[in-house]
Amino acid sequence: MQDRSLSRRTVLASATVVAAGATGVVGAMTTPAVAHRRDNRLRRIISRMSVEAKIGQLFVPYFYGSSATSPSRFDQDRNLRELGVRTVAELIAKYHIGGVIYFHGWTNNIHNPRQIAELTNGVQRASLALPTPVPSLISIDQEHGVNVRIGSGATQLPGAMALGAGRSLSDARTAGRISGTELAALGIHQNFAPVADVNVNPANPIINIRSFGADARQVSGMVAAQVTGYRQAGVVACAKHFPGHGDTAEDSHTGLPVITHTREEWDRIDAPPFRAAIAAGVDSIMTAHLQVPALDPSNEPATLSPTILQGVLRDELGFDGVIVTDALNMQGVRTKYGDDRVPVLALKAGADQLLFPPDIDVAYNGVLAAVRGGEITEDRLDASVLRILRVKDKAGLLSGSPYVSPKVVDRVVGARRHRLAAARIAERTTTLLVNKDRALPLRRRQRKLLVVGASPAFPTDDTRTTVPELARAFDELGYSTTHLATGRSPDAAKIDEAVAAARGRDAVVVTTDNVDAAGTQGTLLARLLATGVPVVHLAVRNPYDIAHLGGVQASLVSYCWTEVELRAAARVIAGRAEPRGRLPVPIQRADDPAKVLFRSGHGLSYEG
């Protein structure tokens, strides 16, 4: 018999309930008696589920289109080709899906807050039409900084390494709360943030500025603060990537990295932020697709390792929340096993949510075959479903309405108070590394500026790029600004054009993006320095750029190139704000990495 009671309660509930704090605090502590009563209630829901429905609760797939039921012909064709269905509503119905993940750009899920709200409501209508209706736990990667999914209309906040430079736990908590408040208003109740990796490898191609820094103690404080902020907003935070992705030069999207830390090093460097997240009440932790021989000599990827997930994360660290796999389409987890076996092995290792399978039909049926064949018991299946339902319940999805109100979206998402707070936080993160002869702030007579250099596109809007946006920020401060984007690899002609453009200017602001010794960004800077025009260098991504640049008069780091960070950097350069950021990582010399050029904690000010 089909149970519609949850659906009836949901439909009768207010459709405008979702706002900051409306669902309570995710991860709030409960007494054993209250937890027991809650689990009994959730087990009654599980008892009404078929095996197929239970398996569906585990999966968090992607899909194409900005509507749950009527995507464009192009998106419908891609869904049919890759997922075997036309819409996400059909995907939910076919596989009893318990959660989905939104992306911008390539999946065409995200355009603006109103559209996201409509998509969310469509997803929830499909979920409540299932034989055992349970709302979806909708997920997203909204780390901010370089890794952000919702751009237009939402508040943009400094990313992790920028917050690490600000060194304010209050700012980190506020950023989490603002981000969570806006996500909750959109009906998105699981954010795959914060990053808990300690970035001790400057060559790390996948974590880098997504980390709060290189000091385990400081990273731990930031992670705990962000978890608290998200909890205050009623959103499920997710610390990632366990057991630690901060010391690798290989990208797990394309290979299987190996972490060579000893057990003592892991305890000292990698473990503390995850311990801090657990102590702060984090409700989900994401795995990493990498090998850690000191933790598991079998060299299974951590995502598939019972020794790491069950033995270390659950038994040693005491985590009983939801373990989420990193995306199962990444090469790091597909190097040894087929796509039908990877989700089965992840579940056997201790995972609960199976994120982004490359082929949902193959993955779903692989798990179904394992359950029917006795490889995975139904009790094991029920344990994962119970953990998932717990976080849905904490997020208010099982007691209130999962639907979102356009009026709440308009009032909360991108609210002026949020944007002002983000701007203040960003100003406290901009870091001044070099300031010879007090080259900064710019003098009052230095009104004619040239902004030139690398110009990466905004993370969620490739129509807006760094150099013109930075120039616009200076114009709004009263400067007369021209600009020229030269790219990450400027050729001789482009460098000559930049040198010519510098003539007659009072100062030049040069942006860099991932400088290396063999590239030509350093050549551009050297040629501009040779003109005699005052030059200000701004690293818009990695703080490590300065190691490859000699002779700079003034150098700053913004840690990303989103609008909020560029505007903050412009205000600091202009003297409208004091540089207060301090390096959250050490910077080694490029010619002798054993020597430190700038220590962690370095940061100049104008005051003294």
pLDDT tens digits, 552-593:
999 999 999 999 999 999 999 999 999 999 999 999 998 888
The mean pLDDT of 140-151, rounded to a whole number, is 95
Q: 6 pLDDT exceeds 80?
A: no
Q: Answer for the pair 528, 560: CB distance below 8 angstroms, yes or no.
A: no
Helix (H) or strand (E) holding 480: strand 480-485
By the 8 A CB rule, do 132 and 2 touch? Answer: yes
> Locate tokens 């990493």: which residue?
288
**Could you give the 3-state DSSP secondary structure of residue 486?**
coil
Decide which of 199 and 249 is more confident.
199
DSSP 209-254: GGSS-S-HHHHHHHHHHHHHHHHHTT-EEEEEEET--SS-SS-TTT
**Looking at 253, 267, 382, 461, which residue is catalytic?**
253
What is the structure's pLDDT at 390? 98
* Torsion, CA 197, CA 198, CA 204, CA 206, rounded to 10: 20
Direct distance between the N- and C-terminal alpha carbons of the chain, in angstroms, rounded to an integer:
74
Instruction: Give the contacts of 4 (CB within 8 A, at least 6 positions apart).
Output: 133
27: region left, alpha or beta (phi > 0 left; psi from -120 to 50 alpha):
left
Residue 26: per-residue pLDDT: 60
Task: Look at residue 14 in the predicted model and tell me its pLDDT.
Answer: 27
Characterize the bridge pairing of strands 284-287 and 236-242. Answer: parallel
- 3-class secondary structure, 136: coil
Q: Strand pairing of 587-588 and 596-598? A: antiparallel
Q: What is the pLDDT of residues 446-499, one digit of tens each?
A: 999 999 999 999 988 888 999 999 999 999 999 999 999 999 999 999 999 999
| pLDDT band at residue 604 using 50, 70 and 90 as cut-offs | very high
Q: What is the pLDDT of residues 408-448, one digit of tens each?
A: 999 999 999 999 999 999 999 999 999 999 999 999 999 99
Interhelix angle 342-349/378-394, rounded to 10 degrees, is: 80
- Region 210-238 average pLDDT: 98
Q: What is the pLDDT of residue 30?
A: 75
The amino acid sitting at 380 is: R
CA dihedral defined by 548, 550, 556, 560, rounded to 10 degrees?
A: -20
Tokens representing 589 are: 């010399």
Cα distance between residue 480 and residue 474, in whole Å: 8
What are the pLDDT digits (tens) for 371-398? 999 999 999 999 999 999 999 999 999 9
In this prediction, residue 152 has a pLDDT band, given cuts at 50, 70 and 90, of confident
| CA–CA distance, 67 with 141 (Å, rounded to integer) | 19
Q: One of 326, 340, 352, 545 is an active-site residue; which one? A: 326
For helices 492-502 and 521-529, the axis angle rounded to 10 degrees is: 30
Per-residue model confidence (pLDDT) at position 250: 78
337: amino acid identity, one letter: Y
Q: What is the mean pLDDT of residues 518-538?
A: 96
Tokens of 448: 């004619």
Interval 109-131 mean pLDDT: 97
Predicted confidence at residue 331, as pLDDT, reads: 85
pLDDT value for 25: 55
The predicted structure's pLDDT at residue 462: 83
Mean local confidence (pLDDT), 337-351? 97
Q: How many residues does the chain have?
A: 608
Q: Is residue 332 a contact partner of residue 253, using CB atoms and an 8 Å limit?
A: yes
Q: Which of the residue ranges 164-168, 321-325, 344-348, 397-401 would you say has the lowest mean pLDDT?
A: 397-401
Q: Where does 240-310 have alpha helices with state H?
A: 263-265, 271-279, 306
Q: What is the pTM of this model?
A: 0.94
The reply to whether 104 belongs to the active site is no
Are 378 and 371 in contact by the 8 Å Cβ rule? The answer is yes
Helices (H) and strands (E) in the chain, counts: 22, 18
- Residue whose entry in the numeric block shows the structure tokens 């993370």: 459
- Residue 253 is among the residues annotated as catalytic for this protein: yes
Mean pLDDT over each residue of the chain, to the nearest integer: 93
Q: DSSP for 554-606?
A: EEEE-SS-SHHHHHHHHHHHHTSS------SS-EE-SS-TTSEEE-TT--B-S
**Positive or negative: CA dihedral 66, 55, 227, 17:** positive
Crossing angle of helices 216-232 and 271-279, rounded to 10° = 30
Extended strands (E) in 332-383: 354-355
Which has the closest alpha carbon to 226: 277, 270, 271? 277
What residues contact residue 36 under an 8 Å CB cut-off, 6+ apart? Answer: none
Domains (range + CATH), the chain:
5-60+80-412 (3.20.20.300), 430-598 (3.40.50.1700)
CA 66 – CA 69 distance, rounded (Å) = 9
pLDDT score of 29: 61
Q: Is the pLDDT of residue 15 over 90?
A: no
CA distance 75 to 107: 8
Distances (CA, A) of 254 to 249, 251, 568: 12, 6, 35
Would you say residue 11 has pLDDT above 80? no
Distance separating alpha carbons of residues 257 and 45, to the nearest angstrom: 40
In angstroms, the CA 558 to CA 431 distance is 7
Q: Tens digit of pLDDT for each residue in 74-111?
A: 999 999 999 999 999 999 999 999 999 999 989 999 99
Mean pLDDT of 156-169: 98
Q: Which residues contact 340 (CB under 8 A, 6 or more apart)?
A: 362, 363, 365, 366, 369
- Between CA 415 and CA 154 the distance in angstroms is 8
